[in-house]
Structure 1
């Protein structure tokens, strides 16, 4: 099949205790990724991934480096099967995997960045519990009305435009819970709370944006070696400084996933491969496109 190959990297919610088993027999290069992360973090992320406990793995300051390493380990295994990415993109945290794979950010630097990103996100909601929920099969106008009604319970916003039939809402727990009830009681759609520990991509993240921006300033960003699509606009970006700025905006901006997939298709994408645990992104892409080949990395590695 002609056309370009897209590697797409999943974000938070795709983690699970024992997920390294999904990689099968690891190469020395893959093992080195985990040992490097363990050394940088000063504790055994590998043991946390393998043994849990789940509540510790789900803490965003741990989830983020865990999924970063998993996504890159998956991409090494996919490369080893003869595939090559022409386009990269990632969903939320997965954007950092895309930046590592395309050479914008060094792997070791990315471990440091996502660990700090997670710590700052925890700090942002320390006194304000927040969550996220996927909303499926409800029209945009009705959802906007539900979000508006739920604002009487707290901050709530649309955080991900995932596919024509799925969006994600994010905000303070009481407000998101209220919206979930309204959706599920309405009879036309359904809402499911996500396995995340904070209200990502909402204005609740803005208080830590300046601190994160200052932290990012210490790292080197290079031009992507392949086409890179960012979350904030859902379009191609190759300017390292614009990428750096968009990572700060990404904290409190919606993920434009549907637009990103369409941008890849406009750039002649023919194959989408999910590089990470699970198959959430593969499922979303199937709802957006019709003519492209869509493969989950998990299934590919089992073949």
Structure 2
């Protein structure tokens, strides 16, 4: 059984998707459709790689790859999840959210998050091999200097915290003083999945009211609730997702317990593939290029 993992932000790279655009008709059709919906030429690397367009670009790339897998390899998932922004890619791919509507919604979500970044600056860091107890102590220590929150439970051994610059720096100092050396700043501009996004969440709540959601082609598991999205609550959960931590580790467990023995990350980078491997999964792939697409096809044909 196959589960799809849709990439979030942070692993985007220069000229991403350009080889797919040149070589895969289904991918090219998705990018051209995005260009029309957004009134931008998304086929151009300078546009696609523009940091201001990163959320719409990742959604476009992910859905484009999904369409290639569906039409060329006749590959669709039994279930899926995505990390943060990746949930929107999963919902579009499951036909729960129209692609054009999803693009415009994600574009506005990006603007709301950008404004929150300006109004509430901060930073995020990933902590490797730190126990939850020591991380909570570090958060308590850092909070004396400024707000600090857990933002992402990626794995039992990888937790992301976010908050004020002063608070995070103080928490990092505490962790290093207590033997935690593997701490990495994230390549993101907004302190997502924390109360720093409260204003963005309020704006998204108003914006999402006009968006229509439909029945799913396959279940999509929420980062926020670790349960399948349902149409009745999907809007509230996507709003809450901005201010509450993600639980990708538990999502992986959900997919494994559902029966998945093969995982395919869709979108830029291989972050989720590596997380799945570290969680104990053996048959894991990612697709973000012509080369990785061919690798997946070879392995599936074995």
Distance in 1, Cα, partners of 2:19 & 2:165: 32
Distance in 2, Cα, partners of 1:38 & 1:74: 16
Aligned with 2:285 (options 284, 290, 295): 295
Q: Normalization by structure 2: what TM-score?
A: 0.90
Deviates more, 1:108-117 or 1:240-249: 240-249
1:265 aligns with 2:260: no
Mapping of 1:181-200 within 5 angstroms?
181-200=173-192
State the Cα distance separating 1:187 from its structure 2 match: 2.7
- Deviation track 1:61-112 (CA, whole Å, cap 9, x = no partner) reads x211011011112222333223221111100000000001111100101100
Equivalent residue, structure 2, for 1:30 = 27
Distance in 2, Cα, partners of 1:149 & 1:300: 43
Distance in 2, Cα, partners of 1:121 & 1:25: 32
Aligned with 2:66 (options 41, 55, 75): 75
Residues 121 and 164 in structure 2, CA contact (< 8 A), matched pair in contact too: yes
State the Cα distance separating 1:177 from its structure 2 match: 2.9
Aligned residues: 292
CA RMSD of aligned residues (A): 1.9
Residues 138 and 172 in structure 2, CA contact (< 8 A), matched pair in contact too: no
State the Cα distance separating 1:24 from its structure 2 match: 6.7
Equivalent residue, structure 2, for 1:51 = 46
Q: Normalization by structure 1: what TM-score?
A: 0.90
- Deviation track 1:213-238 (CA, whole Å, cap 9, x = no partner) reads 1211111101211121111111223x
- Which structure 1 residue ranges, 5 or more long, are not aligned? none
Distance in 2, Cα, partners of 1:82 & 1:126: 44
Distance in 2, Cα, partners of 1:214 & 1:84: 33
